[in-house]
């Protein structure tokens, strides 16, 4: 969830008393089919000594796959397989960090995350928590991180979340699902190798890809929009249209979706997401529904807020024969509905971006309940 409270955003009109945030960007990126093969040489200058390993956190979907044999492991480097079945948790980060500290006599040279948003977020969080004391849950929020993380590299294997460019790592904590938003969170290096996307199932490709599409629609239709966000959002949207409504060959489709995700992430860095994300956050909190599919489940019912976006979404869904599950909220207790609505309405900047300063006059608990009932 890219809940971006750290913007003191006003539409950029050059008001003398407006304070603008100074955002970090990924300082190094390599793009191209097969670029994963350069990982060894990219890591080499960052190796401190033979006792300080590179740790590769990789989605366990790759366990039996050739990709693992291509990981440039030397000295005491370690490959750690992690399931992406569930979204990352602060407790999980704390456990991984404790194990690393126990096993090695000094800090690792770096952390390399290989996978989707789940693994990228875990890699960011582990890199941060190796240098910052306490539990990851203490840093959920904005700019609470005190010390720079260790060197960390992100290698996406599925495209859409924009986690590869963002300055947050979204974690489920004991009390809330919230990102560790900080200038130290952003990756030091990203490797964009479209070949790595080849094995993604059609459904998952669609759900995670729609996260990007929805980022664009919410950013471009938001009141926080400015030329920075618009320039990235429009490009990402064009790329999504080519990927999901065009007839591209598979290689071109992967290349373009990878860049759509990047631009979509950049677009929301300096603006904000909107209604679908606010509501999907509630779904995820109460039911554990994952980010991509959660956004789709909500977005299909948001004609009132994003008429053109929902029409396009339905066209894309039909073209690819995606049937969304139904009855997700059926049988939920009153208390569960209340929590879902409370969590969603708590996303104040998202609502304000979507509907303006008077958003409370437009949206009500009853209205949210009616939408959730349809899911």
Name which of 52 and 296 has its Cβ closer to ligand NAD: 296
Given candidates 188, 211, 218, 352, which one binds Zn ion under the rule CB under 5 A? 211
Residue 307 Cβ vs ligand NAD, minimum distance, rounded to whole Å: 24
Name which of 108 and 113 has its Cβ closer to Zn ion: 113
Told to check if 164 binds Zn ion by CB under 5 A, we report: no
Residue 182 contact, options Zn ion, ligand NAD, none, Cβ 5-8 Å cut-off depending on partner type: none
Name which of 53 and 167 has its Cβ closer to ligand NAD: 167
State how far the Cα of 6 lies from the Cα of 362, in Å rounded to an integer. Answer: 24
Name which of 290 and 317 has its Cβ closer to ligand NAD: 290
State how far the Cα of 119 lies from the Cα of 25, in Å rounded to an integer. Answer: 19
Name which of 36 and 187 has its Cβ closer to Zn ion: 187
DSSP character at residue 61: G
Name which of 52 and 232 has its Cβ closer to ligand NAD: 232
In the three-class reduction of DSSP (H, G, I as helix; E, B as strand; rest coil), residue 301 is classed as coil
Residue 155 Cβ vs ligand NAD, minimum distance, rounded to whole Å: 10
Question: What separation in angstroms does the CA of 152 have from each of 74, 100, 199?
Answer: 17, 15, 24
Query: Given the rule CB under 5 A, which of 50-58, 114-122, 208-216, 321-329 is the region that contacts Zn ion?
Result: 208-216
Expressed in angstroms, the distance from the first to the final Cα of the chain is 19
Torsion sign (Cα): 314, 320, 321, 324? negative
Say which residues have a Cβ less than 8 Å from residue 170's Cβ, sequence separation at least 6.
1, 2, 87, 88, 117, 121, 163, 177, 178, 179, 291
Query: Given the rule CB under 5 A, which of 73-81, 128-136, 141-149, 211-219 is the region that contacts Zn ion?
Result: 211-219
Tokens of 53: 């390993």
Which residue has the closest beta carbon to Zn ion?
Answer: 211
Q: How far is C-alpha 194 from the chain's CA centre?
A: 18
Told to check if 121 binds Zn ion by CB under 5 A, we report: no
Q: What are 89's strand-pairing partners?
A: 172
Chain length of the chain: 375
Residue 207 Cβ vs Zn ion, minimum distance, rounded to whole Å: 11
Residue 35 Cβ vs Zn ion, minimum distance, rounded to whole Å: 25
State how far the Cα of 39 lies from the Cα of 27, in Å rounded to an integer. Answer: 16
Residues that bind ligand NAD (CB under 6 A): 1-2, 59, 61, 84, 87-88, 115-119, 121, 157-158, 160-163, 166, 168-170, 196-197, 199-200, 204, 208, 290-292
Footprint on this chain of Zn ion (rule: CB under 5 A): 211
């Amino acid at each position: 969830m890219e809940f971006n409270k750290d913007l003191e955003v006003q539409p950029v009109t050059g008001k003398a008393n407006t304070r603008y945030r100074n955002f970090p960007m990924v300082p190094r990126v390599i793009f191209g089919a097969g670029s994963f093969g350069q990982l060894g040489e990219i890591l080499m200058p960052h190796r401190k000594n033979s006792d300080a390993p590179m740790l590769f956190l990789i989605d366990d979907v790759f366990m039996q796959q050739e990709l693992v044999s291509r990981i440039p492991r030397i000295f005491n480097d370690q490959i750690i397989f992690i399931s992406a079945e569930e979204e990352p948790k602060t407790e999980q980060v704390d456990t991984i960090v404790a194990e690393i500290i126990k096993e090695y006599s000094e800090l690792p040279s770096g952390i390399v995350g290989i996978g989707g948003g789940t693994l990228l977020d875990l890699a960011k969080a582990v890199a941060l928590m190796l240098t910052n004391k306490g539990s990851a849950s203490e840093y959920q929020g904005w700019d609470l991180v005190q010390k720079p993380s260790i060197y960390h590299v992100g290698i996406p294997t599925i495209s859409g979340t924009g986690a590869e460019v963002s300055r947050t790592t979204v974690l489920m904590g004991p009390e809330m699902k919230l990102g560790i938003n900080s200038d130290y969170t952003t990756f030091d290096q990203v490797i964009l190798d479209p070949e790595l996307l080849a094995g993604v199932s059609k459904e998952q490709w669609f759900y995670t890809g729609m996260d990007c599409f929805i980022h664009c629609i919410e950013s471009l239709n938001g009141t926080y929009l400015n030329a920075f966000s618009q320039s990235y959002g429009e490009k990402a949207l064009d790329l999504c249209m080519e990927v999901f409504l065009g007839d591209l060959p598979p290689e071109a489709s992967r290349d373009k979706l990878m860049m759509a995700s990047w631009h979509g992430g950049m677009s929301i860095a300096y603006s904000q997401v909107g209604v679908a994300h606010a509501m999907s956050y509630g779904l995820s909190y109460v039911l554990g529904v994952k980010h991509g599919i959660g956004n789709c489940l909500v977005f299909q019912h948001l004609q009132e807020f994003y008429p053109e976006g929902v029409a396009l979404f339905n066209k894309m869904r039909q073209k690819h024969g995606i049937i969304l599950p139904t009855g997700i909220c059926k049988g939920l207790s009153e208390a569960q509905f209340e929590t879902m609505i409370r969590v969603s309405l708590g996303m104040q900047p998202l609502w304000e971006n979507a509907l303006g300063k008077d958003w409370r006059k437009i949206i009500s608990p009853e209205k949210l309940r009616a939408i959730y009932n349809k899911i």
